[in-house]
Structure 1
């Protein structure tokens, strides 16, 4: 079932007298429960797509649907609710509140939502129940990213959007985070979209969207996604 749909989406930015095309008539779809990887070089337009889908930014042309809802027509107030209730974000840098514990960071997200998951159970699901009383400064980079993922999941969102989620992590820790995201997709049925410049990661995806120069250069369906443990880069 088509869960996320982009139809002829365009996004322009003005740089002085110049108009920059960040998204150039983008069309693709993602099914519910897919682990989707959007891949391309820096500056290709990947983050622009993620920001538009996540309601952080808006498109100038075209239509975007999530679960049958026309997201691209939402006003500012509706977009605020959409970001709050429907979208979980995981960024390259963890954006944790430094004077709150791991558990309190997760609770912060669960408190603003209609149908949140239990904060401690969510922290447990990412393997951090024993670090719940630690502050971010007392956690490793990988642990902080796990808290950030738990925070996003505690909202019980429709989709999980991950922008270079392993970019600030070492190789082994990055692999653990990708496995956690893949397991989350498989175990919860959440639709997960990961943005990366690393083409090797595409082997673990159900669906791959290649972006170059603001356009879709290729799309692939992967019949046999592999576990991240089998991937080397």
Structure 2
């Protein structure tokens, strides 16, 4: 049985003027359905390029990318747009909320564009924002805004949740709360979650850890017993 995510010999190059930069140089890894996977590495290692290709925001020059049995790397631009809209949830370091919409309206935006959404209010209750649904982003703390962003991603009922440095703009305590929310979501819903981070302390909480360096997979391991978020120190 094939893996839920299969990244196979993926190469990605960018041109900057006269210079060609190889961002990914034959990257291969797999993630099973329902796993909480962490892609870790220093700045410039190729982590975000992996996330962009997985999420259909970019395409590879060589290799194959298969998600849930479908070869995403063979998609046209129109197919990639549908894939991003229907199958992928995104959580970024910065929350990208619409400032003149309430928390509930921000989440409803996402649920309006995909075929099998979850109820926006129910998802907000699930991330602990029952009393904040009618607040605007400016009335919420950073951690609360990130919860809205996570709820917006989850409301799409995506096959794959991609998180790019989701705690990067938060203090340690709030960051742990957000990581626990992501880990719990993975455990309870069976959703496949991929977190991109430079913080090696987070690797203990992952089911699978993919270490990226200089555009290549430097190491990959599975944690038989992933640590609780509360036990992490950084």
After superposition, give the CA deviation of every residue in 1:107-130 in whole Å (9 maximum; x if it has no partner): 000011100000000000000011
Alpha-carbon separation, structure 2, partners of 1:62 and 1:140:
42
Aligned to 1:44: 45
Q: Which runs of 5+ in 1 are unaligned?
A: none
- 1:121-164 deviation digits (Å, cap 9, x = unpaired): 00000000110000000000000000000000000000000000
- Following TM superposition, by how much is the alpha carbon of 1:177 offset from its aligned partner in structure 2, in angstroms? 0.3
SS at match of 2:224: coil
Moved more, 1-10 or 146-155: 1-10
Deviation, structure 1 residue 17 = 1.1
Aligned length: 233
**Where does residue 15 of structure 1 map in the other structure?**
16
Aligned mates of 1:168, 1:231 — CA distance in 2: 18
**1:75-224 counterparts in 2 under 5 A?**
75-224=76-225
After TM superposition, give the deviation of residue 18 of structure 1 in Å: 1.0
Give the whole-Å Cα distance in 1 for the aligned partners of 2:112 and 2:196.
27
Matched position secondary structure for 2:96: coil
Q: 1:147-184: CA deviations, max 9, x gaps? A: 00000000000000000000000010000000000000
Please give the TM-score of this superposition, normalised by the length of structure 2: 0.99
Deviation by residue 1:40-80 (Cα, 9 ceiling, x = unmatched): 00110000000000000110000000000000010011000
SS state at 2:114 partner: coil
1: distance between equivalents of 2:137 and 2:87? 26
Deviation per residue, 1:13-33 (Å, 9 max, x gap)? 011111100000001000000
Structure 2 CA distance for aligned equivalents of residues 124 and 59 of structure 1: 38
Tell me the CA shift for residue 82 of structure 1.
Answer: 0.1
Query: 1: CA distance between counterparts of 2:38 and 2:30?
Result: 12
Distance 1:190 1:35 in 2: 8
* Whole-angstrom distance in 2 between the partners of 1:229 and 1:89: 24
> How high is the TM-score relative to the length of structure 1?
0.99
Q: Deviations over 1:174-233 (max 9, x none)?
A: 000000000000000000000000101000000000000000000001000011101111
User: How many angstroms does 1:104 deviate by?
Assistant: 0.2
The CA distance in 2 between the partners of 1:91 and 1:4, in whole Å, is 20
